[in-house]
Amino acid sequence: LEAMSSLLVTGGAGFIGSNFVHYVVQHTDHDVVVLDSLTYAGDEASLAGLPADRVRLVVGDVADAEQVDPLVAAADAVVHYAAESHNDNSLADPSAFLQTNIVGTYTLLEAARKHGTRFHHISTDEVYGDLELDDPEKFTPETPYNPSSPYSSTKAGSDLLVRAWVRSFGVEATISNCSNNYGPRQHVEKFIPRQITNLLDGVRPRLYGEGLNVRDWIHADDHSAAVLRILEAGRIGETYLIGADGEVNNREVIETILTEMGRSADDFDHVRDRPGHDMRYAIDAAKLREELGWEPQFTDFRSGLRDTIAWYRDNESWWRGQKAEVEAKYAKAGH
């Protein structure tokens, strides 16, 4: 990737995509075109304050070949974040996950193939299934795919499409599989913002089951820095795992949020568990660290959470419109 390139960022009005766009504007000279269909999870407000001469939003669907084709043709690289991203939604109705995650990725790959455009595919550690709590091994690029949910199976499918388009058609693609992100602008359906905004609303946090499930938390900015490194120096056809050694169980996350918000650590409720709930994710990011020299900057989870709590406290207008509908949906599912 040249120093002043034009990036097509799909899903750039969502949580991680918008953090990436802000990061690119701050840390590089690249221009960005965001392609986002503004589903319930996308918000133009997440791109507010960015310079209009460097960032442009195109509202459109990644599965719409006519719209995708000229955008991919004009870009130096595609960074593909757009997806249906929430496991609980995929359990209630998987159809949009098949359409966006599988057909959308296929549509972009066909355009990248036609125009010879560099392609980076954003994926998740959930494609590897889950680990036992006491498993000494972590996920590596060699771990066999074993996804559990409709969401993760469609992400696994999209990864396999990318690999096949590299091998069969010579598409210049890379893949990254990252662990759980936290930070500003995450939809309030997700675990951490749900609990923070519950507390801001005077509602007790909700822990699925016993809450011993472990997630490997990474700050969204560390994810963005890793993706940029892969765009700059990643080897075509390779898969890089992104994680910051941030394993914490859900119960400890809730206790940390509660104490940071001035409440007693046991002031939460246990609710119905997620069907098929993955027990533990853990990433071995040695390849990314050793080959590309990436290191996470946010290594203190408690202080990262403190900043995230402050962001939700200061930006109620960003999340208020999401909250009632999300809680109504969770109430229906017993969560």
Name which of 187 and 206 has its Cβ closer to ligand NAD.
Answer: 187
Provide, rounded to whole angstroms, the least separation between the CB of residue 74 and ligand DAU: 28
Nearer CB in complex with ligand NAD: 58/261:
58
Question: Residue 207 binds which one of ligand NAD, ligand DAU, none, with CB within 5 to 8 A depending on kind?
Answer: ligand DAU
CB 37 within 8 A of CB 237: no
CB 243 within 8 A of CB 219: no
Q: Which of ligand DAU, ligand NAD, none does residue 11 bind (CB under 5 to 8 Å by kind)? A: ligand NAD
Closest CA to 24 of 79, 71, 100: 79
The torsion region of residue 249 among left (phi > 0), alpha (psi -120 to 50) and beta comes to beta
Closest residue to ligand NAD in the complex (CB): 14
Per the listing, tokens 């598409």 go with: 171
Q: Cβ closer to ligand NAD: 263 or 287?
A: 287
Token pair recorded at residue 233: 């120096």
Residues within the interface to ligand DAU (CB under 6 A): 85-87, 124-126, 179-180, 190-191, 194, 206-208, 211, 213, 215, 250, 274, 281, 335
CB 168 to ligand DAU: min, Å: 26
- Interface ranges with ligand NAD (CB under 6 A): 10-11, 13-17, 36-39, 41-42, 61-63, 81-85, 100, 104, 122, 124, 155, 178, 180-181, 187
Which residues, including other chains, have CB under 8 Å from residue 174's CB and lie 6 or more apart? 119, 120, 121, 230, 231, 234, 235, 236, 237, 238, 239, 240
Alpha-carbon distance of 329 to 80, in angstroms, equals 28
- Catalytic site residue from 23, 81, 128, 151: 151
Active site residue 126: yes
Smaller CB separation from ligand DAU, 273 or 291: 273
Question: Any idea which residue has 């519950």 for tokens?
Answer: 198
- The Cα–Cα gap between 259 and 255 comes to 6
Q: Note if 106 is an active site residue.
A: no
Tell me which of 125, 159, 221, 247 is the catalytic residue: 125
Binding partner of 215, given ligand NAD, ligand DAU, none, CB within 5-8 angstroms per partner class: ligand DAU
The token pair at 51 is: 């310079």
- Which residues are bridge partners to 124 per DSSP? 178
Cite the DSSP H helix spans in 119-202. 150-169, 191-200
Give me the least distance between CB of 89 and ligand NAD, in Å please.
9
- For the annotated catalytic residues, the residue numbers are 125-126, 151
